[in-house]
Amino acid sequence: AQTVTQSQPEMSVQEAETVTLSCTYDTSESNYYLFWYKQPPSRQMILVIRQEAYKQQNATENRFSVNFQKAAKSFSLKISDSQLGDTAMYFCAFMKQTGANNLFFGTGTRLTVIP
Amino acid sequence: GAVVSQHPSRVICKSGTSVKIECRSLDFQATTMFWYRQFPKQSLMLMATSNEGSKATYEQGVEKDKFLINHASLTLSTLTVTSAHPEDSSFYICSAKLDRIYGYTFGSGTRLTVV
């Protein structure tokens, strides 16, 4: 079974500063995908960034980057130059490459960007 | 991009009645649709997976007779909460699988309140 753990229920960051959200996962799969989703107050789930496990290079999307440590089963999200619009719940998610292809979500981290 | 339209966004119903939630893929064909339930300040829990033209697969603990899922076409999947009770009050989100790399697109969610 796959489990995804987010150990930080809540975090805050000053506007324009950098913050890192942590995520660890447990799986026996060797090939899989990892995602970070954002859920703002509107409750709409928005894909922030994704990482293929077979790629060693960390994914980057503008101000968002990940630190993927496959051996440690760690997948943290770094948000640089935080903006007020980044205030949201952030969910780390795992998907197997084969077989059942639903997402397994972590418990989420509520991020507040302080002006 | 791929959009899933979910309706209604909010619904209040009386205990004992049934409520139908619809998810339509607007510009693509959704072979597989996932239905999630989210309690306040909690993560998304997978309820069931529906594939077009076949019976839905329910997660352990989810009552298939209470949560009826129909995926009769490639653009429409519905979740009917039958004989709703206050404990069924929750936020329900559908998600369509795009492909293994791009993951999923989510509906905007339905807040169900049973009074």
> Considering CB atoms only, which of A47, A50, A91 is closest to B43?
A91
* Interatomic CA distance for residues B39 and B31, integer angstroms: 27
> Considering CB atoms only, which of A43, A102, A106 is closest to B108?
A43
The residue-averaged pLDDT of A99-109 equals: 87
pLDDT of residue A49 exceeding 70: yes
pLDDT of residue B103 exceeding 80: no
Per-residue pLDDT at B114: 97
Cβ–Cβ < 8 Å for B72, B53? yes
Cβ–Cβ < 8 Å for B96, B42? no
The residue-averaged pLDDT of A18-34 equals: 94
* Interatomic CA distance for residues B29 and B66, integer angstroms: 27
Both structure tokens of A20: 């890192």
Per-residue pLDDT at B2: 83
Residue-wise pLDDT for B51-80, tens only, equals 888 889 999 999 999 999 999 888 999 999
Query: B49 vs A102: CB contact, 8 Å cut-off?
Result: yes
The residue-averaged pLDDT of B35-63 equals: 91
pLDDT of residue B16 exceeding 80: yes
**A and B: number of Cβ contacts within 8 A:** 50
What's the gap in Å between the CA of B55 and the closest CA on chain A? 16
CA angle A16, B41, B90 (to 5 degrees): 135
Contact of B28 with chain A, judged by CB distance below 8 Å, is answered with no
The residue-averaged pLDDT of A11-34 equals: 95
- Closest chain A residue to B44, measured at CA: A105
pLDDT of residue B102 exceeding 70: no
Percentage above 70 pLDDT, chain A: 99
Q: Which residues from chain A sit within 8 angstroms of residue B44, using beta carbons?
A: 45, 91, 103, 105
Per-residue pLDDT at A97: 82
Closest to B79 in 3D by CA, of B105, B58, B100, B102: B58
Q: Which residues from chain B sit within 8 angstroms of residue A88, using beta carbons?
A: none
pLDDT of residue B101 exceeding 70: no
Query: A50 vs B104: CB contact, 8 Å cut-off?
Result: no
What's the gap in Å between the CA of B56 and the closest CA on chain A? 13
Contact of B43 with chain A, judged by CB distance below 8 Å, is answered with yes
Query: A50 vs B34: CB contact, 8 Å cut-off?
Result: no
| CB-CB neighbours of B105 under 10 Å | 21
Q: Which residues from chain B sit within 8 angstroms of residue A91, using beta carbons?
A: 43-44
Residue-wise pLDDT for A53-95, tens only, equals 999 899 999 999 999 999 999 999 999 999 999 999 999 999 9
